[in-house]
Amino acid sequence: MDDKLNEGTPAQSEALGRQEVVRQAAVYASGVLSMADNPALQQLVEEAAQYFCVPMAAVSIIDRDRQWFPAGHGLDVTETAREVSFCDYAIKQADEILTVLDARYDPRFRDNPMVTGPTHVRFYLGCPLLDANGRALGALCVIGVDPRAHVSEEEYARLRALASEATRIITHHQLSPVDRTTALDTIGSQIEDLIRSGDESLVTDLDAMLRRLERQEDRERRRGK
C-alpha cells in the first residue's frame, strides 16, 4: 500500500490536528501521567503477556511527543519517541484493535527501528484505551518477536476485556492536587491559545474538561475543611 494514501486531504489533516488537541487535554485531565508503577495496571500487562505467550506487553500512554509506559512487561525502557510508536497508530483506530501479524511486511512499520533493530518486533496487537467521551488516551498492547498467521476471535475478545479493565483503572484514578493543577494550567493555556488564534471550535470541549477539574478541586477543598 502506498503510504501517501494514508496522508488524507489538508482538511482531514486539520481536523485530525484539532482532535489531537482535545485528546491531549484528555490525557492530562485523566491524571494517568502520574500512574507510574501502578500495581493494578502492572498485573494486567503481566496477564496479557502470559495469555498471548509474548515476551512484551504494555499500557502505552500517548503524550505529546512520546509514548510512556506506566506498566510494562519485558521492556527495558519506560518511554520511547512517539514517532516510532505502534500504539500511536492504534489510538487512531477508534475502537478497533490494531493488528500487525508481521511488521516486516507492513509499510507503516517495516523501516521502524523497533522492527529493524534489536527489539525485533514482528507481531503487535493494540487495543485503544478510550475515556468516557471516546478519546484515546493510549493503548494496551502485546508484542511478539515472531510473526503470526492469524488472531482468533477469542484472543481479540480477551485483549478487549483487559483493555476495558485498564481504562476502568485509569478513569477511577484519583488526581493528586499537583496533577490537577498541572491539568488546569495546561488546558487553560490551550483555551487561551485557541481564542487568540481565532479558532474557537474546540473551546467548548476543552472548557467542559476545565470545569470538571475545577469541580473536583472544589469538592476536595470542601472535604479538607
Pair (124, 196) in one structural domain: no
Distance of alpha carbon 61 from alpha carbon 44, whole angstroms: 15
> Torsion angle of alpha carbons 125, 17, 63, 181, nearest 10°?
-140
Q: Which amino acid is at 182?
A: T
Output the pLDDT for position 70: 97
Pair (94, 187) in one structural domain: no
Pair (114, 186) in one structural domain: no
Pair (166, 199) in one structural domain: no
Phi and psi of 152, rounded to 5°?
-80, 160
pLDDT in tens, the chain (225 residues): 334 334 454 434 444 567 788 898 889 888 898 899 999 999 999 999 999 999 999 999 999 899 999 999 999 999 999 999 999 999 998 789 999 999 999 999 999 999 999 999 999 999 999 998 899 999 999 999 999 999 999 999 999 999 999 999 998 887 777 778 888 888 888 788 777 776 676 787 788 888 878 787 777 677 664
Output the pLDDT for position 127: 98
Burial bucket for residue 52 (CB in 10 Å: 0-12, 13-18, 19+): buried
Output the pLDDT for position 220: 67
Output the pLDDT for position 1: 34
What are the CB-based long-range contacts (under 8 Å, 24+) for 185-192? 186/25, 186/28, 187/25, 187/28, 187/29, 187/213, 190/21, 190/25
Structural domain that includes position 211:
177-224
Q: Which three cell numbers stand for residue 2?
A: 502506498
Residues 143 and 123 sit within 8 Å (Cβ to Cβ): yes
Pair (86, 160) in one structural domain: yes
Domain CATH code at residue 86: 3.30.450.40
Output the pLDDT for position 4: 36
Q: Considering the domain boundaries, does residue 23 fall inside one?
A: no
Pair (106, 153) in one structural domain: yes
Pair (161, 205) in one structural domain: no
Pair (201, 166) in one structural domain: no
Q: In the chain, how many domains are there?
A: 2
Q: Considering the domain boundaries, does residue 152 fall inside one?
A: yes
Is residue 140 helix, strand or coil? strand
Output the pLDDT for position 224: 63
Pair (47, 111) in one structural domain: yes
Per DSSP, the residues of 71-93 read EEES-S-SEEEGGG-SHHHHTTS
Distance of alpha carbon 20 from alpha carbon 210, whole angstroms: 17
Q: Considering the domain boundaries, does residue 12 fall inside one?
A: no
